[in-house]
Structure 1
Amino acid sequence: MCMACEMDPAKAEGFAGSIIEMINQGALGILVSMGHQLGLFDAMVGVPPISSLELAASTGLLERYVREWLYAMAAGRIVEVDISSTYFHLPPEHAQFLSRKFPGDNLALFAQYIPVLAGVEQQVIQCFKQGGGVPYEQYGRFHEVMAEDSGQTILGALFEHILPLVPGLLERLESGVDVLDIGCGSGRAMVLMGETFPNSRFLGIDLCEAPLTAARQRVREKGLNNVHFIQADLTTFCPEGKFDLITAFDAIHDQARPDLVLATVYDCLLDDGVFLMQDIDSSEKVANNLDHPFGRLLYSISTLHCTSVSLAQGGMGLGTMWGTEQANRMLRAAGFRQITENRLPHDPMNCYFVVGR
């Protein structure tokens, strides 16, 4: 029997509608990213209905572009529009999830991943055909977006929620310990900890030089002498000395060889040291991720970034959704025996592993 004869017209129509909605939402996502970057949402928080001319004036932007952006936001039901006066209003229920004025709740920053990933679409298409991957340096603003993402999920919760996962850790940091951060990016967490705990010593390592330039500049501006950064590939590089605390914030699954990096972590950790690893809270089985609130975004990031940058280095290509099951197996294979998983209310994307020898 032909496929057309078996087709359910209602199901087909419903699916077509969902594809149209997906295309609409994808396009709108780019404009949400732009609104976040340009401060347009921030400027609309808590103000009465505003015209495109007034919004442009308050943000220093060109009215013609602001007007078209507002029309798109109205069509997407993100802002409300008074048809008679063409004034626009950002409801407080929406503002909470779109503005920097609500740290911890701002979802607009995640929309930035969409245009960043779209920028390498053609290169990844070639990888589908020819193999290999796209290296980190081809991803434009990815490090910048990741830094902002980490600023919301890590920096704001670091002292109140994340470090206290390890009993007594804050006291040890105050007394003075040695800390290593893997995949440190622009080093915001290391700099913040270096400021807060002047008796401790901090070393950040990242594969890419570009974010480290920003990290070193931040250290100079703060006048810190207890924070240092090294550009290195931890697949083959092992830092000198032993560390009381090793951290990895959303970094292990991106490594070419996570197994080798975790073995290095084990070798560098003192017997009574702690490895604090934040990574994606997912399952290695796709069936368990079908209802994940960020599943579609994370699999897209995996296809267009995490899998590709690993394969570009000749790595394992585990991808973003490598799964907590596989993370546990790799930690144990590296030699770790004490592994505790933690979920924090402020961060629905990640699992926080507290790991000891």
Structure 2
Amino acid sequence: MNAPAIDQTKLDAFVTRAVGDLSSAYGGVLVSLGSKLGLYKAMSGAGPIGAAELATRTGCAERYVREWLNAQAAGDYVGYHTDSDTYELSPEQALVLADEESPLFIPHAWQVPASMWFDEERTLEAFRTGKGVAWGDHDGRLQCGVAAFYRNGYRASLVPEWLPALEGVVEQLEAGTIVADVGCGHGHSTVLMAQAFPRSRFHGFDGHAASIDAARHNAAAAGVAERASFEVARAVDYPDGQYGLICFFDCLHDMGDPVAAARYAARVLAPGGTVMLVEPFAQDRVEHNLSPVSRMYYAASTTICCAHAISEGGELVLGAQAGEARLAEVFRKAGVSHFRRAAETPFNLILEACR
């Protein structure tokens, strides 16, 4: 059989794209280094700065700093001034790279692919055997990276935008109700709600003991430990509190039996209560999810989300690009009649379910 003809233009374009992706992966390592070493922070608001001065400000070796700066300039992550041999971080770049309170701050996210590489042997075995990989069996950078990355997005949107999009929920929270945050991780979402609604009581549940320890520490540091408690529990056996609000933040798709989790939530929900489901943004069909954001979600889903669901038995492995229709079907099977999209962002669907 004759080999297929090669379209040189298509080949060149694809090689360019593949090399660009490889360059981005290399650059991600330097983004993480720059954040941890304080290089971006030292550049923020400083105007043009030379490599030697930046090295002095950060206590780093000048030769390493210069090479790092050149890589940043080559990737357009900082500007380079030829005449003065200086580098500059723009205000826009600072929001993404230096401001740890910004909802756009991205350096922590690079811990996730770092953990994916570290866990490559586990993933290879999972592919070959069909077995799962539990959340807690991954390299610790996964849990820390996910928690830190989502924290700022939740801080920007959860209280001012997402909760008000739910019918009557803010009024209940202001009056005082009981809230379950299922799959709470490090508890950032729980803490944010506890800070905003002091008359309500919040209970975070997660099957990963180390994350629960971190959540308790975060609640204490935020001064809300008296109204935000945390306990190791699965999505089908946390205490029945007859909750006014049950939240699943970016976690239902990770569960081995999401229908059972939704059914249990419906059982422990108080009359008139609401389930808030926050999931990665996705359309319902693969051909509508062919984007850079979806590529990122599919990649994480391959090694993390699907792997954990399979480790829990894999009754229904949704993956991180489940889409609204499949999620609605989960709650329909759980006996929940009301399900709607309350809000959306480029990264998340915010869905409401009620009995």
TM superposition score normalised by structure 1: 0.91
Q: How big is the shift at 1:22?
A: 1.6
2:22 & 2:219 partners in 1: Cα distance? 43
1:165-196 Cα shifts (integer Å, max 9, x gaps): 12432232122111111101111222232233
Further displaced range: 104-113 or 197-206: 104-113
Cα contact 1:195–1:224 (8 A) shared by 2: no
Q: Is 1:333 the counterpart of 2:333 in the alignment?
A: yes
Q: How big is the shift at 1:65?
A: 3.0
Q: Is 1:153 the counterpart of 2:153 in the alignment?
A: yes
SS of the aligned residue for 1:96 comes to: helix
Q: Which residue of 2 aligns with 1:228?
A: 229
Q: Is 1:98 the counterpart of 2:94 in the alignment?
A: no
Q: Is 1:205 the counterpart of 2:169 in the alignment?
A: no
Q: Which residue of 2 aligns with 1:116?
A: 115
Amino acid at match of 1:184: C
Q: How big is the shift at 1:225?
A: 2.1
Q: Which residue of 1 aligns with 2:243?
A: 243
Number of aligned residues: 352
Q: Which residue of 2 aligns with 1:41?
A: 40
Q: Is 1:177 the counterpart of 2:185 in the alignment?
A: no
Q: Which residue of 1 aligns with 2:353?
A: 355
Amino acid at match of 1:309: H
Q: Which residue of 1 aligns with 2:298?
A: 299
Amino acid at match of 1:77: D
Q: How big is the shift at 1:338?
A: 1.3
Cα contact 2:341–2:349 (8 A) shared by 1: yes
1:192-232 Cα shifts (integer Å, max 9, x gaps): 32233332221110010101112222334426322211112
2:244 & 2:101 partners in 1: Cα distance? 34
Q: Which residue of 2 aligns with 1:324?
A: 324
SS of the aligned residue for 2:140 comes to: coil
RMSD value over aligned CA atoms? 2.1
1:318 & 1:249 partners in 2: Cα distance? 15
1:66 & 1:60 partners in 2: Cα distance? 10
Q: How big is the shift at 1:329?
A: 0.6
SS of the aligned residue for 1:305 comes to: helix
Sort the Cα spacing of 1:202 and 1:17 in 2 relative to 1 into closer, same or farther, 3 A. same
Q: Which residue of 2 aligns with 1:254?
A: 254
Sort the Cα spacing of 1:106 and 1:269 in 2 relative to 1 into closer, same or farther, 3 A. same
Which structure 2 residues correspond to residues 47-196 of structure 1 after superposition, within 5 A?
A: 47-83=46-82, 85-100=84-99, 103-137=102-136, 138-196=138-196
Amino acid at match of 1:287: E
2:227 & 2:91 partners in 1: Cα distance? 43
Sort the Cα spacing of 1:93 and 1:153 in 2 relative to 1 into closer, same or farther, 3 A. closer
2:215 & 2:51 partners in 1: Cα distance? 38
Further displaced range: 194-203 or 170-179: 194-203
Cα contact 2:96–2:102 (8 A) shared by 1: no
Cα contact 1:98–1:107 (8 A) shared by 2: yes
1:101 & 1:313 partners in 2: Cα distance? 34
Sort the Cα spacing of 1:84 and 1:123 in 2 relative to 1 into closer, same or farther, 3 A. farther
Q: How big is the shift at 1:155?
A: 2.0
1:193 & 1:238 partners in 2: Cα distance? 19
Q: Which residue of 1 aligns with 2:313?
A: 314
1:223 & 1:82 partners in 2: Cα distance? 48
1:326-348 Cα shifts (integer Å, max 9, x gaps): 1011011111111121334xx41
Q: How big is the shift at 1:293?
A: 4.2
Further displaced range: 152-161 or 219-228: 219-228
Q: How big is the shift at 1:2?
A: 1.5
Sort the Cα spacing of 1:45 and 1:204 in 2 relative to 1 into closer, same or farther, 3 A. same
2:256 & 2:38 partners in 1: Cα distance? 36
Cα contact 1:49–1:88 (8 A) shared by 2: yes
Sort the Cα spacing of 1:96 and 1:229 in 2 relative to 1 into closer, same or farther, 3 A. closer
Sort the Cα spacing of 1:204 and 1:102 in 2 relative to 1 into closer, same or farther, 3 A. closer
SS of the aligned residue for 2:298 comes to: helix
Amino acid at match of 1:225: E
TM superposition score normalised by structure 2: 0.91
Q: How big is the shift at 1:112?
A: 3.5
Unaligned runs of 5+ in 1: none
1:260 & 1:334 partners in 2: Cα distance? 7
2:56 & 2:225 partners in 1: Cα distance? 40
Cα contact 1:244–1:270 (8 A) shared by 2: yes
